[in-house]
Chain A
């Protein structure tokens, strides 16, 4: 049995929040460089270089990469042999509060009825998954809503099949146009039920960029989606070129015989994510 204190969780989340806002992970930085190298439009190439320079300034001068420092999702993978000394949920929320206050990050969360800003960026959205063992992993995904607002979910009839799902996914991305700040990372959940599809679409954003699905047919689907989106899309920030999408990640789950849920979670080029094992 391993013990992790609430104080340690708070401190870790505080650090993840501040780091995520300022420092892109190597996977997204590499993807932007690769996009720049294959870009055909001079303007789009210039914009990609601007985005790299933005990442450099953000990291060096501790200015957030984007003013929309997001609403926070925290995925907790909790080993069954781990004892949390204290209140896990409260510890995470406190870490977000401290990180956003002390890191000079924007508080972007409001009451949905009154639209009054909560002033703390709380609450964060927390998902806890149990597993055997002693791991306590926190994965932090703050997400701006320029991209989140362009996401979608559709309950397709089974007759639509995977081709119908592909059309819906591509349409969702292409119709989003410049709004979600392409080049995008696109998370897709196919199957399960209503909420499972949405959760898969979000969680699969955290797969390291460029690593294909372990399922061969799903990996082929990811390739197909990427090619179509970059052919039909309007490029970097909608200003042209061949880089509308940097990566498509698809996760699947068995579904009901009457159902074909498809969820598309759109992520902007400022793909901020951090994780830590405690």
Chain B
């Protein structure tokens, strides 16, 4: 299997971006931009968020410094022997909404999942100059090829809900909320008004 082969499913133009983002990159992105992400990101979903916020409640340090990072909402399927990881598509983001503003307060710069965010999350993103991206839902096998390595960071007992660090290469996504407060989902017309 050619693990390193860049995805080429898209005819559209993608911006190639390094993670963590260099200064000024996040502010330069606009809702609707298609991006290929390469570099380091962190993962977490429901249980990881619950536990991160519980640590904050107790005044404790988080297992990693999230400042400047991208947090991807995913619960991977297990890796077969010899593989890096199983399927790694996005999970639905609204379930993280109640936790997200606290993490943005810590300097988290980008979140990635699927589906729209709540108004409080969008306001917090604007306040902090952060963005939200959607990965392609239900493309978990395809996206698996974009993950070069996986390291457990915390909450191993949460199984698929543990927190991991991924090294990714050309991981495709679309910018939904930009720093100016635009929302790509809202810009999309309905079926009879092609965008």
Give A contacts to B, CB under 8 Å.
40-43, 46-47, 49-51, 53-55, 57-58, 61-69, 104-108, 115, 117, 119, 146, 149, 177-181, 230-235, 237-244, 268-270
- In the complex the two chains form, is B194's CB within 8 Å of A117's CB? no
Are B80 and A57 in contact (CB-based, < 8 A)?
A: no
Give which listed residue, A117, A179, A230, A239, contacts B94 with CB less than 8 A. A179
Chain B residues engaging chain A, CB cutoff 8 angstroms: 1, 7, 9-12, 34, 47, 74-80, 83, 86-89, 91-92, 94, 114-116, 134, 136-142, 144-145, 158-161, 172, 174, 184-185, 188-192, 194-195
Q: Specify which chain A residues have a CB less than 8 angstroms from the CB of B88 in the assembled complex.
A: 67
A50 vs B141: C-alpha distance when bound (angstroms): 11
B194 adjacent to A65 (CB under 8 Å): no
Q: Are B138 and A104 in contact (CB under 8 A)?
A: no
Residue in A closest to B143 when the chains form the complex, CB atoms: A54
- Where chain B touches its partner, the secondary structure class is loop
B159 partner, pick from A68, A119, A181, beta carbons under 8 A: A119
Number of A-B contacts (CB under 8 A): 173
A57 near B142: Cβ-Cβ < 8 Å: yes
User: Which residues of chain A have C-beta atoms less than 8 A from B158's C-beta?
Assistant: 117
Assess whether A234 is in contact with B190, with CB atoms less than 8 Å apart: yes
Is the pair B94, A46 in contact by a Cβ cutoff of 8 Å? no
B74 — nearest CB in chain A belongs to which residue?
A67
Contact status of A69 and B77, CB under 8 A, knowing A178-B116, A242-B194: yes
Q: Which residues of A contact B78 (CB under 8 A)?
A: 104-106
Pick 19 A–B contacts, CB within 8 A, sort by A.
Answer: A41-B195, A42-B11, A54-B138, A54-B142, A57-B145, A63-B77, A63-B140, A64-B87, A67-B87, A105-B77, A105-B78, A107-B160, A115-B47, A179-B94, A239-B174, A240-B195, A242-B191, A242-B194, A269-B138
A119 and B159 CA atoms in complex are apart in Å by 8
Other CB < 8 Å A-B pairs besides A106-B78, A117-B160, 17 of them? A54-B142, A58-B87, A63-B83, A63-B87, A64-B140, A65-B87, A69-B87, A104-B77, A107-B159, A146-B92, A149-B92, A231-B190, A231-B191, A238-B116, A238-B185, A239-B184, A239-B188
